[in-house]
């Protein structure tokens, strides 16, 4: 005859205590104070009856959450919001959560988040801009154990996977559009052009190079914001204010300008509003151009001429690189992990809308020439 299974209820009866007391004593969970006598009686009763605690499912301590960490310099510029949108959409499809580190362009914050990575134990890390120069070696070291992807400028020498952005090329495309329209006296408004923000400088350098090659380098005014702005916590209107305030200064200083360019769309929106406040007609009296093709570029009073470089796709690509790296490291096809560096780059495209046209008077002159030919 099969022996009846001993339960905690049997132990409780033998020891003269409650079932709850048996459970807490045998599981060493002393939520209340038990006397040594009670503990002795429960343990002896369990031993005499041959009682065994039910086997519990042991949670795997080394199980990693499906987590990606994203470093972002600010969350106020639509460009970075679009990158995050692309990253999140792909991460969600693959069942990953995101931990966003808003560094606010602060070296102290960036360093703090980098030191947190071992504790967070993510399965991948994405930088939405270049890591600061002083942390390049740390990033390369971490990338040997954690898949990293950086959305950066191709001129930066960083030996990690990257979704590339050739800012010099963007600048040249912007300049070529204005030159083709006949603009000879132009201004370029930018945030602070510091050593840390090399990407910004590359875009300006590309713009200047195109004008120099056309023999018009001296006709370009570069107006950059003060370095102190980057030390402040970015506000939602920080870059818009740069465009607005510096345009006001330009209009007081320069008389011959026919076009003003913003390093990005947010700055261009500030330029537009400053011009409207000063009663300028856009593009009749002044052409304006931005870069990034953000959603708002099509929602202003006059749709903004800008550069499309497929920001959302870059976010998705950065996520895809992480996934590929993870699969490679989990692969059992080889005795050692293959070394591979992924580089993805999109060709930027000019998006001509309503804020750029010929310089004042140019179109009329061309029209007269065409009319005179007809008379002959």
pLDDT at 187: 98
User: Considering only the top CATH level, what class is 67-166+311-331+340-347?
Assistant: alpha beta
pLDDT, greater one: 147 or 36: 147
- Residue 338's pLDDT is 54
pLDDT above 70: residue 333: no
Nearest-angstrom CA–CA distance, 13 and 22? 10
Residue 122: other Cβ atoms inside 10 A: 24
Q: What is the per-residue pLDDT for 344?
A: 86
Q: Dihedral of CA 345/349/351/356: which sign?
A: positive
Burial of 182 (0-12, 13-18, 19+ CB in 10 A): middle
| 135-145 mean pLDDT | 86
Q: pLDDT tens for residues 208-243?
A: 999 999 999 999 999 999 987 776 767 778 899 999
Q: Is the pLDDT of residue 64 over 80?
A: no
Least confident range from 63-67, 173-177, 274-278: namely 63-67
pLDDT of the residue at 63:
54
What is the pTM assigned to this prediction? 0.75
The pLDDT of residue 112 = 94
In the chain, where the domains are located:
8-49, 67-166+311-331+340-347, 167-309+351-369
Q: How confident is the model at residue 369 (pLDDT cuts 50, 70, 90)?
A: very low
Residue 131 confidence (pLDDT): 86
User: How far apart are alpha carbons 342 and 357 in whole angstroms?
Assistant: 40
Residue 260, pLDDT > 70, answer: yes
Instruction: Give the C-alpha distances (Å, rounded to integers) separating 115 from 101, 106, 110, 126, 347.
Output: 12, 14, 9, 15, 35
The average pLDDT across 246-254 equals 95
pLDDT winner (highest mean) among 38-52, 83-97, 183-197: 83-97
Overall average pLDDT of the 41-54 stretch: 86
Q: Looking at per-residue confidence, does 101 or 23 come out higher? A: 101
Question: In three state form, how does the secondary structure of the chain look?
Answer: CCCCCCCHHHHHHHHCCCHHHHHHHHCCCCCCCCCHHHHHHHHHHHHHHCCCCCCCCCCCCCCCCCEEEEEECCCCCHHHHHHHHHHHHHHHHCCCEEEEEECCCCHHHHHHHHHHHHHHCCCEEEECCCCCHHHHHHHHHHCCCCCEEEEEECCCCCCCEEEEECHHHHHHHHHHHHHHHCCCCEEEEECCCCCCCHHHHHHHHHHHHHHHHCCCHHHEEEEECCHHHHHCCCCCCHHHHHHHHHHHHHHHHCCCCCEEEECCHHHHHHHHHHHHHCCCCCCCCCEEECCCCCHHHHCCCCCCEEEECCHHHHHHHHHHHHHHHHHHHHCCCCCCCCCCCCEEECCCEEECCCCCCCCCCHHHHHHHHHHHHHHC
Q: Quick one: pLDDT band at residue 157, thresholds 50, 70, 90?
A: low
In angstroms, rounded to a whole number, what is the distance separating the alpha carbons of residues 136 and 116?
16
User: Cβ(219)–Cβ(259) under 8 Å?
Assistant: no
Tell me the pLDDT tens digit for each residue of 9-21.
889 898 998 888 8
In degrees rounded to 5, what are phi and psi of residue 107?
-60, -40
The strand pairing partners of 308, in sequence order, are 349
Residue-averaged pLDDT of the chain: 85
Listed in sequence order, the residues at least 6 apart from 14 whose beta carbon sits closer than 8 Å to its beta carbon are: 45, 48, 49
Among 23-37, 189-203, 286-300, the range scoring the smallest mean pLDDT is: 23-37
Overall average pLDDT of the 348-360 stretch: 96
CA distance 358 to 179: 10
CATH class of 167-309+351-369: alpha beta
Check whether 361 has a pLDDT greater than 90.
no
**The two domains 67-166+311-331+340-347 and 167-309+351-369 share their CATH topology (first three levels equal):** yes
pLDDT above 60 for 374: no
pLDDT at 6 over 50: yes
């Amino acid at each position: 005859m099969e022996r009846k299974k001993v339960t905690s209820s049997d132990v409780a009866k033998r020891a003269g205590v409650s079932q709850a007391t048996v459970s807490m004593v045998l599981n060493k969970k002393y939520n209340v104070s038990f006397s040594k006598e009670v503990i002795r009686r429960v343990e002896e009763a369990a031993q005499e009856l041959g009682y065994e605690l039910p086997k519990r499912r042991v949670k795997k301590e080394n199980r990693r959450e499906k987590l990606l960490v994203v470093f972002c310099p600010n969350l106020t510029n639509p460009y970075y919001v679009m990158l995050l949108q692309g990253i999140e959409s792909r991460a969600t499809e693959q069942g990953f959560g995101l931990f966003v580190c808003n560094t606010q362009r602060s070296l102290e914050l960036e360093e703090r988040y980098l030191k947190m990575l071992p504790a967070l134990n993510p399965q991948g890390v994405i930088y939405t801009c270049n890591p600061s120069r002083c942390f390049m070696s740390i990033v390369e070291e971490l990338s040997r154990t954690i898949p990293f992807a950086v959305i950066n400028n191709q001129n930066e020498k960083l030996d990690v996977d990257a979704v590339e952005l050739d800012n010099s090329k963007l600048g040249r495309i912007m300049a070529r559009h204005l030159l083709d329209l006949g603009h000879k006296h132009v201004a370029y408004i930018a945030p602070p052009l510091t050593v840390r923000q090399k990407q910004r400088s590359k875009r300006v350098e590309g713009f200047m190079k195109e004008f120099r090659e056309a023999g018009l380098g001296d006709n370009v005014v570069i107006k950059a914001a003060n370095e102190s702005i980057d030390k402040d916590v970015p506000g939602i209107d920080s870059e818009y204010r740069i465009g607005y305030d510096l345009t006001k200064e330009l209009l007081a200083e320069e008389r011959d300008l026919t076009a003003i360019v913003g390093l990005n769309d947010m700055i261009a929106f500030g330029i537009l509003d400053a011009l409207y406040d000063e009663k300028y007609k856009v593009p009749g009296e002044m052409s304006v151009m931005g870069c990034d093709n953000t959603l708002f570029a099509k929602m202003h009073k006059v749709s903004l001429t800008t550069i499309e470089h497929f920001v959302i796709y870059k976010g998705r690509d950065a996520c895809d690189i992480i996934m590929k790296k993870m699969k490679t490291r989990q692969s059992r096809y080889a005795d050692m992990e293959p070394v591979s560096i992924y580089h993805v780059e999109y060709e930027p495209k000019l998006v001509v809308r309503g804020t750029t046209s010929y310089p004042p008077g140019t179109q009329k002159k061309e029209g007269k020439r065409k009319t005179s030919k007809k008379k002959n």
